[in-house]
Chains A and B, each alone.
Chain A
Amino acid sequence: MHFLNLFVVVPALTIVAILFTRDLKGARWASAVGMSIQLVLAGALVFMYLSARNAGVADEMLFTADSTWFPSLNIRYAIGVDGISVAMIALTAVVIFAGVFASWEMEFLSREFFISLILLCSGVFGFFISLDLFTMFLFYELAVIPMYLLIGIWGSGPKEYSAMKLTLMLMGGSALLTVGILGLYFHSAAAGGQHTFHILEIAKTDIPVTAQRFFFPFTFIGFGILGALFPLHTWSPDGHSSAPTAVSMLHAGVLMKLGGYGCFRVAMFLMPEAANEMAWIFIILTTISVVYGAFGAIWQKDLKYINAYSSVSHCGLVLFALLMMNQTAMNGAIIQMISHGLMTALFFALIGMIYSRTHTRIIDQMGGLMKVIPFLSAVYVIAGLASLGLPGLSGFVAEATIFVGAFQHADTFHRVVTIVATTSIVITAVYILRVIGILLLGPIKNEHFEHLGDAHWYERISTIILVLGIAGIGLAPLWLSDMINFSLAPIIGKLSGLVNDVPLVLN
């Protein structure tokens, strides 16, 4: 069996295993075991990938496999990974692993919960390994649908509203995407012959520029909705605030990354001319997202809302950097996706854990938690510092790469918007420190909180693995950055005829 298939098969087997369990205890252990295997697999994948690269394998995609499952339309199950997808897969594996442990006490309909959760994650894994647009889209939908159930059933607050809103907006994105993908498909055989959904094959043909101009906005906005592109980000605050902990983690940590990943792998890679022409519109929008999301977060009272707006800001930075279309900035965008995935998952995990103790998410009602739950509070501080871009943690690596890359752009417009975007680091500091100050420091406001217990072992596992990821990337970013750089080279190569940016040659 092909190695990459395991990433879809293991979740499927885990789901089957959960079906044979009877209660929460069985379900969670089954999930934990399954996702641990997944984590190990992801680690092995990273290792195998790097050793293949070190051995001098120069193919664009590694570990490819290809089989047709719908011959009349030439739809194929084509899989393969490059450095970027490997990084995303590793991120997903870490986040889902942490997510399972964060939902250790999910009492209500626990089997169904874990099944949906793992179904979602298998969709995500499938998305990242797919090279065929149709199969990719299929997996994408597979990831979105369980989200509706997870929020609608296990959520809190106005959960039906949020679930409906989220699903409808994402479905709206899917509708746009369908148009974009079909547009690519029907232009994929310029010289006659068979149409194809395969990304690499489409990349080899030249899509007519007129068609690109038409289909690029569909594809980019379709993925952009998932990546919280202003002004289509409003599902995010509502969705996140209603979703249960693990779902928020997965959603903000991984699912939103599908948007960014799709934006460059499908929209920009396959339609480079249109991307160049239209980039400025989206650059303005994403610049607004970056600053606006940060400002939006300052005055929120609900922890999850704060984090949701901060996600808008950070994810805006991802799209912003992608649109700069030079290697450094795009590299920064990928690192930012991973970094944001880890730290926002950590944030949501912590918020869930704090909520389960204090039963409130309104920051004004809490205070001085550092004294009673030092472990969680310290981790919260670390997450906050990562979020505001402290060196030594992952956020800094991403932001530094993005800003330096974006500023190397030859065009003044791009440099000016970069300066605008950099102001977000100050605003981010303001809201992060505000939350830390109100929530964790100061005297204890509510005497009921005097006797809260600190983290349980499973909560520790969940947070520590994320912290390790954040610190690991923050302290030693070079391997990740080089891995991504290598795989960005062909993409930049396709864009480079247009922006005069020579791909970075690695020693």
Chain B
Amino acid sequence: MHGYAYTVYILLIPFIIFIFLGLFGNRFKPMFSGIVGSAGLLVSFILSLTTAYRYFFASAPGEDGYTAIIAMNAVWLRLTETLHIDMGILLDPISVMMLIVITTVSLMVHIYSIGYMKGERGYERFFSFLSLFTFSMLGLVVAANIFQMYIFWELVGVSSYLLIGFYYQRPSAVAASKKAFIVTRFADLGFLIGILVLSFTTGTFDFQTLTDPAGPAVTHAGGATFLGLSVITWSLILVFMGGAGKSAMFPLHIWLPDAMEGPTPVSALIHAATMVVAGVYLVARMFPVYALAGIPALNVVAYVGGFTSLFAAVIACTQLDIKRVLAYSTMSQIGYMMLALGVARYGGHEGLGFMASMFHLFTHAMFKALLFLCAGAVIHAVHTNYMNEMGGLRKYLPITHITFLVACLTIAGIPTFAGFFSKDEILAAAWHHNKFLFFVEYIVAGLTAFYMFRLYFSIFQGKQAHYHHVPQEAPYVMTIPLMLLALVSVFSGFIPFHSLVTSDGLHLDTRIEWGVAIPSVLIAVAGIGVAAVMYRKESALPERMASTFRHLYTWSYHKFYIDEVYLFITKKVIFRYISTPVAWFDRHVVDGTINGIAWVIVSASQKVKGLQSGQLQQYALVFVSGAVLLILVFICLLY
């Protein structure tokens, strides 16, 4: 009927490649696995494009706009009569859009990695994990029920773990991967409990039932309450906790900067474009429930997003590791998306934020992947991560330079670049709902422009740093993905998102609100200007600024000491005051009791053995006492 059954191959191809490379990859030449991986992904990519074309453009949307299609569904595990985990494929505007995002970025990263990972040990392992990740991420976005999403959510987490820890002999990479997994796992706990609560209240896992405006989730919203909020709202907040963990929202963000220990293509794919937006996607997927049954939860989303975007932007201004700057920038941008979702409501023009969020997700995926890949090319050329050891690379790396500049302009929100359009929609949505958050976002926009151009000027302009050998432009296998992504970054702003991806599937009339857009562009330009003044030429200005705002600078440089707080809680509190005492308690109290019982029995038997001494007189004593006692007893009984 619908003819989308082939979409299952979009998922299966990466999975098969994962199994194949994981088991037999080391039998072939390294290059082979890269080519196999990329070729497989190319097929997936083409299939995704076809799907998108057929879904959006091959037929005009009906009365209800773009409706969801179940392309495939099979029961995977039957839990109760109503609750069953299915493996299904749900196609609706956002999942189709995500298919495009994931396969595009993943394909670019695959191709790029062929060059970037050349000569690394474990080449085939890298590609098999990349395929695993792609598979899991695709499974996540097409999930037809919330438990399926959780399953792939966990798989995404583990592939991220495996890829961050790719250089497993480097202790920092091992620590970072562990941290990433445990922090997100902790967040997933919230997600899981949220699912449990939700399924208990609504009796279903199915997304279509859950998000149906007339479905049980919405109609039960007025049910039982807990601490003043309805149970549904609580479950949504818990679900958002999962999303916040994956999307590195404050205070669960600490893993993301450390995750930059992974190979750069991984950072581009997982920690910039796809996995970290899973949280946004999750909220978007559940959006009708949030908007119709859990406005307080949506406010939580908005404020967490807004705060994170500001918080991360401030930190990004002071970091020196270029990948970390990009990581904080990612956090900040995801905060934008969360905020946009938070200020959106269901249906019609109220849903502008939803559309804006998805739009920004799309453009951000492209330009942030581009930024990371450029950073990878730079690191590849100069073998350092620190921007104070770089400078003047413009002449050596012309292609990287241009593409990086394009990406920076995009993220700064300069008109005609994609970022401008998507950011403008977000600001407009915020303007209509929450002025306070709107002004926060203005500040963030300025900071974004500032730190991105600080990065740009430090790397490509400024004084010529001393290099051990002359930096060389990356091979074509790496630069072609850069150029392609740059093209997308420039032009994706013209995709008519407002008619494709909306909260209720219907067409939405939007236009650029110049009253919002012009100041934001001016702020961005101002940010760029400040950055240019401070970093274009070598000057003492940055130093002076740092010493003027010394406290802010130090706090920001140390990421507001959040890591230390966590370290304190885990190392000092959990390990020292919970785990060690538990271990001690088990050995000495519980086991001690058991051993104590054994000891009592043994010593009692020693004593009993002592009675059996062979000492006639002792026996006699006992005998006589016994006799006397018996007599006493009889006397007492008789009288």
Which residues does A use to contact B, with CB under 8 Å?
165, 168-169, 230-235, 237-238, 292, 295-296, 298-300, 309, 327-328, 368, 370-371, 385, 388-392, 396-397, 400-401, 403-405, 407-408, 415, 418-419, 422-423, 425-426, 429-430, 433-434, 437, 440-443, 477-478, 481-482, 485, 502, 504-505
Contact = CB atoms under 8 A, between A and B. Distances in A.
A299 B577 CA distance: 11
A429 to B, nearest CB: 4
A418 B196 contact: yes
Given A441-B168, A442-B168, A478-B78, A433 B582 contact: no
A504 B185 contact: no
Contact of B171 (A403, A433, A443): A443
Interface stretch (B297-305, B370-378, B591-599): B591-599
Interface in B176-203: 178, 181-182, 185-186, 188-189, 192-193, 196-197, 199-200
A388 B590 CA distance: 26
B579 A408 contact: no
A408 B583 contact: no
A478 B594 contact: no
Contacts of B548: none
B75 A478 contact: yes
Given A292-B582, A422-B189, A404 B83 contact: yes
A429 B165 contact: no
A504 B81 contact: yes
B24 interface: no
A234 B182 contact: no
Contact of A441 (B77, B85, B165, B199): B165
Interface string B62-78: 00000000000001111
Interface stretch (B151-159, B263-271, B278-286): B151-159
Nearest to A410: B200
B630 interface: no
A234 B598 CA distance: 13
Contact of A442 (B151, B171, B189, B575): B171
Given A299-B579, A404-B83, A415-B200, A485 B78 contact: yes
Contact of B594 (A169, A390, A408, A425): A169
Contacts of A441: 165, 168-169, 174
Contact of B78 (A237, A418, A504): A504
Nearest to A433: B178
A291 to B, nearest CB: 9
A425 B174 contact: no
Nearest to A312: B586
Interface residues of B, number: 50
A419 B197 CA distance: 10
A412 B453 CA distance: 55
Contacts of B147: 400, 404
A485 B178 CA distance: 37
Given A418-B196, A442-B174, A477-B77, A391 B155 contact: yes
A401 B77 CA distance: 9
Interface centre among B76, B152, B196 (most CB of A within 10 A): B196
Contact of A385 (B85, B158, B175, B593): B158
Given A404-B83, A429-B182, A504-B80, 4 more contacts: A231-B593, A403-B196, A408-B83, A441-B168
Given A231-B593, A426-B189, A429-B185, A405 B80 contact: yes
A125 B579 CA distance: 38
Given A390-B155, A390-B158, A418-B196, A231 B78 contact: no
B79 interface: yes
A425 B193 CA distance: 12
A395 to B, nearest CB: 11
B580 interface: yes
B202 to A, nearest CB: 12
Interface of B: 75-81, 83, 85, 147, 150-152, 154-155, 158, 161, 165, 168-171, 174-175, 178, 181-182, 185-186, 188-189, 192-193, 196-197, 199-200, 574-575, 578-580, 582-583, 586, 590-591, 593-594, 598
A198 B593 CA distance: 37
17 contacts: A165-B598, A231-B590, A234-B591, A235-B594, A295-B583, A298-B575, A328-B80, A368-B169, A391-B155, A396-B154, A400-B77, A407-B197, A407-B199, A408-B80, A418-B196, A441-B165, A441-B174
Nearest to A425: B189
B196 A404 contact: yes
A328 B189 contact: no
B169 A391 contact: no
Contact of B189 (A296, A299, A391, A423): A423
Contact of B85 (A389, A400, A419): A400
B541 to A, nearest CB: 42
A404 B583 contact: no
Contacts of A407: 196-197, 199-200
Nearest to B168: A441
Contacts of B174: 437, 441-442
B178 A434 contact: yes
A396 B151 contact: yes
Nearest to A234: B591
Contacts of A400: 77, 79, 85, 147
Given A403-B196, A433-B181, A481 B575 contact: no
A371 B196 contact: no
Contacts of A415: 200
A404 B79 contact: yes
A370 B166 CA distance: 12
A98 B234 CA distance: 46
A392 B155 contact: yes
Contacts of B593: 231
Contacts of A502: 81
A477 B76 contact: yes
B290 to A, nearest CB: 21
Contacts of B583: 295-296, 298-300
Contact of A401 (B75, B79, B574, B590): B79
